[in-house]
Structures are given as structure tokens and as C-alpha cells.
Amino acid sequence: MIAQALLSVLLGGVLVYAWAEYRRSPLVGALSIVAGLAGLYFVWMPSHSTLVAEFVGIGRGVDLILYLWVCISLTVMLNLHLKLRAQQETITKLARSIATANLAAAQEAPAVTAEEAPKPAPPAADAHTSRQMRGQSA
Amino acid sequence: MQRNRSKSVYVICPAFNEARTIAGVLAGLAGQGYEIVVVDDGSSDGTRRVAETMATTVISHPVNLGQGAALKTGIDYALSRGAEFIVTFDTDGQHRPSDIPRLLDALVRERADFALGSRFLGGAQRTPVLRRLLLRAATLFTAVTTGLRLTDTHNGLRAFTRRGAAALRLRQDRMAHASEILAEIARSRLRYVEVPVTIDYTEYSLAKGQRAGDFVMILLDLFAHKLRR
């Protein structure tokens, strides 16, 4: 009974997590809800797990539970992967903003005169591009 | 006509550690009247230094984000500068600058918003057998998932009108961006056309290009993208 209560609390936590995730990722949320509900059902009706296990050809109920737990773990891993992707998108936006801000700052910087330039003036074609790098024309 | 049109043509060159080839690529693009925008994607080999001496504009990502992110950075910049036409051009030396006018002419002539380069309509030097098979598989995948009838789905040489580029909602940072662009073209329902272009395969470009395992990652990226809102 104690084990059942503890497992119920844990699986209840999984359901709360799944409900919260459902808004962000419906598929992951739905999979987690199904896995959590199945876990709760088998915790309180352990004999049914053996029946279901035999029906699907697994053999023992405990193996079925183990497989379900693996499914839950994989679902959580998938969700973590999706969250990492979402974070990467945020980093991309930040990096892009920094890159364009740096470019704007460089273009607004005062032009370097020929006398101040550390290197000799480039050939005609390059002179055009170098000048634009300093923002004197677009 | 050519001169006036070139004024608003922005060529976006994403580059990551291309110091070995970028000077030659930019030299080939110079003198055509294009606005050359190099997006240095966090290179550590001096790519930026070389590009700054030759390109109109160099935008530098502070960290490596991926070619898809670099393209979007360049496209956003070009749109903000009033570009009428935007060309994407790889910096590993596999594209020919002489193909760009053909893409632009196709946009105008066909009244299309997207002109996509195709190596299978044009010429490709020494296309490896495995790469050819993978590209064919990608073509089939694109036909099934987007409905676009194309002969080459992973060609980095493309041209967009301003309207076409603005219609693209790009979120794939890395290799899946090519598939995402096609999906966005299909979603936009704007007109597209394929144009024969030549790909010059070199040992360098093949080494930097996609491998068989990358296609698995592309599928995973596309799948993950669908799962999250």
C-alpha cells in the first residue's frame, strides 16, 4: 500500500507535468498523459498488467511496467530535445541582433582617411567595397 | 537594364571557416554591380578578415549558428536595405557567378518570385554516385511533403524577388534550412522556376558538403520543428 501511494504521487507529478507541457507541445503532452494514466491504472490494478502483458505477448506484468517506464523516459528526452531547440532559436535571435548591431555601429563610425589608414589603398574594385564597409555609402 | 538591375541585387554569401576559398569566390562576384553581403558565421580561420577587404558588407555572428541562420541574417539585412533581388551563393567555390544573371533573368522573364538553381538541368562536375542518390531521395521527399516538382532540392544557388524573400519564414538554423525554404516556397503559393546551373565539385567542397548521415539529422530537425508550436 505504501509503495502504491508513493508511485501514485510520482505518477500524479508526471500528469501535472504533462498537462503543463501540453500547451507547448501537444504530442509530447498527450504521450505523457497516456503513459502516466496507464502507470496509475497498473499501480492500483497490478493483476491487470499481467493480463494486458500476456495479451500483447510480453509475458509478465512487471515487464510491461518496465517498458512503459522506458516509453515515459523517451518522451521526456524528446521533450528536452525540443526545449533545447527552442533555446537555440532564442540564442540565434540574440546573436543575430548582436551581429546587426555591431554592423550598424561600424557603419556609423567615422570614416578612416587615406592618411590614417594602416594599409595602402586597395585597387579600384576593392576601394569601392572597403569604403562601403566603413558606411560611407550603401 | 543590367546595370540598373544590379544596383538592387544583394548576393548573400554565408561563410564558416572558408578562408581558403572565399577570396576567389568574392573576386568572381566583384565588378558585377552586386551588393555582396558576407555573413561570417563565427569563423575562426580569418574568413572575416579576408571578406572585409572584398565584400560590400560583412555581418559577423558572434558564435557559429549554422548556414540557415546565416542566410536569414543576410536576407533580413538585404530586405532592410531595400533589396529588389536577393541571391544566395555558397562560399566553398562550387557555384559560378556567371549563373546569377540567368537566375535573375528567369525571375523577370517568368514573373516568378523564386528561381532555384538545378545541377541536374545544367551541369555538375563529377557528381559522386552516393550524393546523386541522396539528392534524388531528397527530391522525392520534397515532392511528397511540399508538392513542389523540382529536380534539385539542395542547391545553395537561388534568387528571390523582394516579395519572395519577405514571404519566407525561416527558423531552421542548420542543414534543414534548404528543405524549410522549399516548404516555405510551397506555403507562399508564389511562382517558382528552376534554372540550370553548374556545380563545380572539388575535394574541398565535397568535404564541406553534406554527408549521408546529415540527411538523417535533417529529417530529425524537420520532425522536431513540427512537434513544437
Query: Is 60 exceeded by the pLDDT of residue B114?
Result: yes
Closest CB to A129: pick one of B55, B224, B229: B55
What was the ipTM of the complex prediction?
0.77
Within-domain flag for A132: no
Band the pLDDT of B1: cuts 50, 70, 90: very low
CA A87 to chain centre: 6
Please, what is the average pLDDT of chain B? 87
Domain of residue A93 covers: 2-106
List Cβ neighbours of B20 (8 Å cut-off, separation of 6 or more). Answer: B45, B204
Cβ atoms B190, B163 nearer than 8 A = yes
The neighbour count for residue B153, using CB atoms within 10 Å, is 22
Identify the pLDDT of residue A120: 47
Residues 83-112 of A with CB under 8 A from B: 85-86, 88-89, 91-92, 95-96, 98-100, 102-103
**Single pTM value for the model:** 0.74
Nine cell digits for residue A50: 499481467
Cell 546529415 locates to B214
A36-48 burial string, b = 16+ CB within 10 Å, else e?
bebbbebbeeeee
Asked if A132 reaches chain B (Cβ–Cβ under 8 Å), the answer is yes
Identify the pLDDT of residue B87: 98
pLDDT in tens, A34-65: 888 988 888 888 888 888 888 888 888 788 87
Query: In B, which residues are within 8 Å of A129 by CB distance?
Result: 30, 36, 53-56
What whole-number distance in Å separates Cα of residue A2 and Cα of residue A36? 19
Distances in Å between the Cα of B52 and the Cα atoms of A135, B68, B167 are: 12, 21, 30
Indicate the helix (H) or strand (E) that contains B136.
Answer: helix B129-146
Q: Which of A109-118, B69-78, B126-135, B138-147 has the lowest mean pLDDT?
A: A109-118
DSSP secondary structure code for residue B98 in this structure: G
Q: In terms of pLDDT, which residue wins out, A129 or B222?
A: B222
Within-domain flag for A117: no
Query: In B, which residues are within 8 Å of A75 by CB distance?
Result: none
Within-domain flag for A116: no
Query: In A, which residues are within 8 Å of B73 by CB distance?
Result: 96, 99-100
Identify the pLDDT of residue A58: 83
* Contact: A27, B61; criterion CB under 8 Å: no
Within-domain flag for A56: yes
* Contact: B72, A126; criterion CB under 8 Å: no
Cβ atoms B46, B23 nearer than 8 A = no
Q: What is the CATH number of the domain that holds B13?
A: 3.90.550.10
Band the pLDDT of B192: cuts 50, 70, 90: very high
Q: Which of A100-109, B16-25, B89-98 has the lowest mean pLDDT?
A: A100-109
Within-domain flag for A96: yes
Identify the pLDDT of residue B132: 77
CA distance B140 to chain A (A): 27
Q: How many independent structural domains does chain B possess?
A: 1
Asked if A54 reaches chain B (Cβ–Cβ under 8 Å), the answer is no
Asked if B180 reaches chain A (Cβ–Cβ under 8 Å), the answer is no
Query: Is 60 exceeded by the pLDDT of residue B189?
Result: yes
Asked if B34 reaches chain A (Cβ–Cβ under 8 Å), the answer is no
Identify the pLDDT of residue A133: 37
Domain of residue B109 covers: 2-227
Phi, psi of A43, rounded to the nearest 5 degrees? -65, -40
Query: Is 50 exceeded by the pLDDT of residue A125?
Result: no
Q: How many independent structural domains does chain A possess?
A: 1
Nine cell digits for residue B229: 508550436
Within-domain flag for A127: no
Within-domain flag for A97: yes
Query: Is 50 exceeded by the pLDDT of residue A124?
Result: no
Query: Is 50 exceeded by the pLDDT of residue B222?
Result: yes
* Contact: A89, B173; criterion CB under 8 Å: yes
Please, what is the average pLDDT of chain A? 77
pLDDT in tens, B2-49: 444 545 999 999 999 999 999 999 999 998 999 999 999 999 999 999
Mean pLDDT of B101-119: 95
Band the pLDDT of B95: cuts 50, 70, 90: very high
pLDDT in tens, A60-85: 878 887 887 888 788 888 888 888 88
Beta bridge partners of residue B85, listed in sequence order: B9, B161
Query: In A, which residues are within 8 Å of B33 by CB distance?
Result: none
Band the pLDDT of A103: cuts 50, 70, 90: very high
End-to-end Cα distance, chain B: 45
Within-domain flag for A25: yes
Phi, psi of B19, rounded to the nearest 5 degrees? -55, -30
* Contact: B228, A129; criterion CB under 8 Å: no
Instruction: Using only the alpha carbons of chain B, give its radius of gyration.
Output: 16
Query: Is 60 exceeded by the pLDDT of residue A136?
Result: no
* Contact: B224, A81; criterion CB under 8 Å: yes
Cβ atoms B111, B184 nearer than 8 A = no
Q: In terms of pLDDT, which residue wins out, A26 or B123?
A: A26
Q: Which of A77, A85, A97 has the highest number of chain B CBs within 10 A, making it the mutation to test binding with B?
A: A85
